Structure 1
Amino acid sequence: MWGMPLVYLLVGGGLFFLIYSRFIPFLYLRHSLNILRGKYDNPDDPGDISHFEALSSALAATVGMGNISGVAVAIFMGGPGALFWMWVSAFVGMATKFFTCTLAILYRGQDSEGKIQGGPMYVIREGLEKNWGGNWTYLFKPLAALFALAGIFGPLPIFQANQLTQILRDSIYIPQGWVAANAHFGGDLITGLVLVVIVSFVIFGGITRIGKVTSKLVPAMVIIYIGCVVAILGAHITEIPHYLGLIITDAFNADYVRQSAINGEAMFGGIVGSLIVIGIQRGVFSNEAGLGTEALAHGAAKTKEPVREGLVAMLGPAIDTIITCTMTALAILVTGVWKSTEANGVTLTLNAFNEALPEFGTYLLVICVVFFAISSMLTYSYYGTKCLGYLIGADKQHWYNYFYVGSIIFGSVASIGAVIDLIDGMFALMAIPTMVSTILLAPKVKEAATSYFERIDSFKTFK
């Protein structure tokens, strides 16, 4: 599912949004910070959560294992230059999120109980069907249903549960002698049951409780993680300029791409083309721009101005990929573990922590993984609930939470190979309706943005 056609759709669509908007939304990033800190909040506006809570909920899903292990995979496969192309994907993803999340507010609809909802399936129903309609309607309804169906399985927490139990088992349970090296089931099952209790306490309270918890959890987990990485970089501060330069030069030389990662059919062909694909794919998995998950979270924001939420959503890839992933990448590079080991994924990041912080690096990373994994689980449950409610009715959508917490136990005891193909495939299916609908409705976003920016500029001039 994650072949070149989907990469072309996501990156090509993002480039289209970037050029079509003429980069104008980027000129209002300072204004987006004012929106985020509540300057324009109105409790009487339609929606469930504030702009800050909406961004926190979206970041709770994206700032996760992709920032700890995903960037490590990119460096392992493509070397330092892969990070440059992750930056490119993030910059393009900012434009994508501006368009998708503006549409999530612009074309909100009502569920079967009359409650206002946002997300790609409502954008398709309220936007595409009403603006295109006619002979195309028979295509739009299945497209919305496809997104909702994939959105039931794509956000299941089995990957987060699996990775969390793995690092707890390998870093704490086995070294402390709590479980035998070959006795995975018992310790993993207990971890899964504990996760069920923690996650259930939050998600059964709905998006309001999820938003309040994530708005406190996300800033804390980002600060803890970045604080740890800053300590690592401080111990190797003289190496940072060298590796920043290497990231840029290697992006076009591709001297460190592994032979197993070279794809003869990669865009532009050859080793450099393979490096571009590695960086872009890891970037998309990190910030989820264009997958539709971001629109589900931001579609719940309290606002009457769609463009405001689009501007807030743009900050997501900047925080997630440009800041957090870069910090992880630099920690791996300056410690030298990327050269001296065959370790991959979270183990490579763990080696970097242990090299710079030998006494307590493991435990600090475990704490970060726990925060990241649980925060992702909280937001993902909301995504699946909304999708099920769209398909069978809002009065029945609460049943999804029981299915959701039950899957945590399965993810905790199953092998990663048993679940990762399902999750990746469902996210790929979610991206197709999201990007197609956003490209077709891009003129509506541009129209709304032009009107909003003119009003903002007039207000500044008058003031």
Structure 2
Amino acid sequence: MEQLIKTFSDYAWGLPLVILLIGGGLYLLVLSRFLPFRYIGHAIQVLRGKYDDPNDPGQISHFKALTTALSSTIGMGNIAGVAVAISMGGPGAMFWMWISAIVGMSTKFFTSSLAIMYRGKDSAGNLQGGPMYFIQEGLGKSWKPLAVMFSLVGMVGALPVVNVNQLTQAINDIVLIPNGVEVGLKTNLIVAAILVGLTSVIILGGLKRISNAASKMVPTMVLLYFALVLYILVSNYSVVPKYFVLMFTDAFSANFYKGDAFMGGALGALILLGIRRGAFSNEAGIGTAPMAHGAAKTDEPIREGLVAMLGPAIDTLIVCTLTALAILVTGVWETTSNNGVSLTASAFNHVMPVYGKYLLMVCVLIFSISSLFSYAYYGSKCLGFLIGADKKHYYNYIYILSIVLAATTPFSAMLNLIDGVFALMAIPTMLATIALAPKVIIQAKTYFKTL
């Protein structure tokens, strides 16, 4: 089964998808004349609530929409995903993750603007946003099969299998094994049972409860994680410049890449690895974030697009870079065979021998649990689109069941499954976004004229 999932994931992440994600993102960037980067200051003002109007349509504020989206992206993609990228590809993988994030900022601007421009109504008559709605409302009923495809694969893509798997691994490696507890199926099932209890309380309370939990947890966890990583970098300040430069030079030499070739060599494989891990980290072009941003209280699509584009900047350009540097400057990427969250834990333990890994454990716990809430919302929204809003709560039971599966399954299988499904989610999202992009440009010109 593990080999089958790997084959599916590798096939899905072929050259056509890279062209669609990166080529499509570059096309959007040029089409908008680098608009996302020209209005970063304005985006921050919107995020701070300067333009909020309680009478606008929608369910949650700009800030809560961004934190709900970020709670799913700032998480295991930044701790485990970066560690996987470096253990497989070396320092150069981080450069290609940056490229994916810069292009991804433009993609997120367009997808989240469309999520507001073409909000549809679910079967209960509530306003909803997301790729399945902007495909159907923006491109017409004849495109509905593409919206159905997104919703079907979106239900699998929203399963929390990587987060739960890595949280279980972190609890085993950081807490249980060092304290003499024998880990196995029994301990994994106990961890799963606790997570099921925690998750059930929040997700069965709906989007308001999810966004309230995320808006409180996300800023706190980011600040704590920042402080810890900066301490590691300050402790190893003499080698920080060396590894920062190595991220650029190795990106074109691929000297540390371990794995199969792609497009005829190691460099092609390194680029693919960086883009794949970048997509897992910031989810730009995948279609998850527009589902959160589509619920924002606003009638200005461009405003929401500008808020959404800050996601990849916070997520990949800042948080992932800090994680990568922590792993590189401590040397654990060359001295241990650890992978995923265990590699990041080794870096923390290297600088803070007694308490470092426990502080990382707190971050991992909050990262993972906040991600669990957001993904449950995404999956139930997909099911609601397919069979009706009155039945979308059935997804929560599938979701809760998947937590048990993820806690007892190998990491590589879970990571490859989500990678492959994310690739399938990107196809309808990017095709529809490219087709509707000129409409966003017209809206943007009007918005900035009247600003």
TM-score bracket, normalised by the shorter chain, equals: over 0.9
Q: CA deviation at 1:52?
A: 0.3
Letter in 2 for 1:319: I
Q: Which residue of 2 aligns with 1:262?
A: 261
Q: CA deviation at 1:3?
A: 2.0
Alignment pair present for 1:24 and 2:31: no
Q: Which residue of 2 aligns with 1:288?
A: 283
Alignment pair present for 1:395 and 2:390: yes
Q: Which residue of 2 aligns with 1:460?
A: none
Letter in 2 for 1:31: H
- In structure 2, the CA distance between the partners of 1:262 and 1:68, relative to structure 1 (3 Å rule), is same
Q: Distance in 2 between the 1:199 and 1:218 partners? A: 16
Q: Which residue of 1 aligns with 2:333?
A: 338
Which SS does the other structure have where 2:54 is aligned? coil
| Alignment match of 1:382 (pick from 369, 377, 381) | 377
Q: Between 353-362 and 319-328, report the one with greater CA deviation.
A: 353-362
Alignment pair present for 1:318 and 2:321: no
Task: Please show how residues 36-51 of structure 1 align to structure 2 within 5 Å.
Answer: 36-51=47-62
- In structure 2, the CA distance between the partners of 1:83 and 1:103, relative to structure 1 (3 Å rule), is same
CA RMSD of aligned residues (A): 1.4
Which SS does the other structure have where 1:174 is aligned? helix
Q: Distance in 2 between the 1:251 and 1:418 partners? A: 27
Q: CA deviation at 1:24?
A: 2.0
Q: Distance in 1 between the 2:97 and 2:366 partners? A: 23
Q: Distance in 1 between the 2:240 and 2:411 partners? A: 34
Q: CA deviation at 1:427?
A: 1.9
Q: Distance in 2 between the 1:417 and 1:167 partners? A: 15
Q: Which residue of 1 aligns with 2:250?
A: 250
| Alignment match of 1:349 (pick from 339, 344, 347) | 344
- In structure 2, the CA distance between the partners of 1:361 and 1:419, relative to structure 1 (3 Å rule), is same
Q: Distance in 2 between the 1:149 and 1:103 partners? A: 20
For residues 139-195 of structure 1, the C-alpha deviation after alignment (integer angstroms, 9 at most, x for no partner) is x111111111111121112222222112212221222233x24xx122111111111
Q: Distance in 2 between the 1:152 and 1:341 partners? A: 36
Letter in 2 for 1:453: F
Q: CA deviation at 1:261?
A: 4.1
CA contact (8 A) 1:6 1:428 kept: yes
Q: Distance in 2 between the 1:77 and 1:412 partners? A: 23
For residues 71-100 of structure 1, the C-alpha deviation after alignment (integer angstroms, 9 at most, x for no partner) is 112122222121111111100000000000
Q: Which residue of 1 aligns with 2:201?
A: 201
- The percent of aligned pairs where both chains have the same amino acid is 58
Q: Which residue of 1 aligns with 2:152?
A: 149
- In structure 2, the CA distance between the partners of 1:410 and 1:270, relative to structure 1 (3 Å rule), is closer
Q: CA deviation at 1:347?
A: 2.1
| Alignment match of 1:114 (pick from 125, 148, 168) | 125
| Alignment match of 2:88 (pick from 73, 77, 82) | 77
| Alignment match of 2:163 (pick from 149, 160, 164) | 160
Q: Which runs of 5+ in 1 are unaligned?
A: 457-463
Q: CA deviation at 1:416?
A: 3.5
Q: Distance in 1 between the 2:371 and 2:118 partners? A: 26
Q: Distance in 2 between the 1:185 and 1:252 partners? A: 43
Q: CA deviation at 1:403?
A: 2.1
Q: Which residue of 1 aligns with 2:109?
A: 98
Letter in 2 for 1:205: G
Q: Which residue of 1 aligns with 2:73?
A: 62
Q: Distance in 1 between the 2:146 and 2:287 partners? A: 13
For residues 357-409 of structure 1, the C-alpha deviation after alignment (integer angstroms, 9 at most, x for no partner) is 11112111111111111111100000011111111111111121122122212
Q: CA deviation at 1:255?
A: 2.4
Q: CA deviation at 1:421?
A: 4.1
Q: Distance in 2 between the 1:446 and 1:219 partners? A: 32
Which SS does the other structure have where 1:292 is aligned? coil
Q: Distance in 2 between the 1:81 and 1:97 partners? A: 24
Q: Between 67-76 and 435-444, report the one with greater CA deviation.
A: 67-76
Bigger radius of gyration among the two: 1
TM, length-normalised to structure 2 = 0.95
Letter in 2 for 1:344: N
Alignment pair present for 1:414 and 2:413: no
Q: Distance in 2 between the 1:374 and 1:282 partners? A: 21
TM, length-normalised to structure 1 = 0.92
CA contact (8 A) 2:169 2:341 kept: no
Q: Which runs of 5+ in 2 are unaligned?
A: 1-11
Letter in 1 for 2:358: Y
Q: Which residue of 2 aligns with 1:307?
A: 302
Which SS does the other structure have where 1:113 is aligned? coil
Q: Which residue of 2 aligns with 1:87?
A: 98
Q: CA deviation at 1:63?
A: 0.7
CA contact (8 A) 1:101 1:313 kept: yes
Q: CA deviation at 1:273?
A: 2.4
For residues 77-125 of structure 1, the C-alpha deviation after alignment (integer angstroms, 9 at most, x for no partner) is 2221211111111000000000000000000000001100000010011
Q: Distance in 1 between the 2:415 and 2:257 partners? A: 24
Q: Distance in 1 between the 2:421 and 2:93 partners? A: 25
For residues 268-321 of structure 1, the C-alpha deviation after alignment (integer angstroms, 9 at most, x for no partner) is x43332222221111111100000001111100000000000000010000100
Q: Distance in 1 between the 2:389 and 2:251 partners? A: 48
| Alignment match of 2:358 (pick from 351, 359, 363) | 363
Q: CA deviation at 1:208?
A: 1.0
Q: Distance in 2 between the 1:368 and 1:3 partners? A: 34
Q: Which residue of 2 aligns with 1:177?
A: 180
Q: Which residue of 2 aligns with 1:216?
A: 216
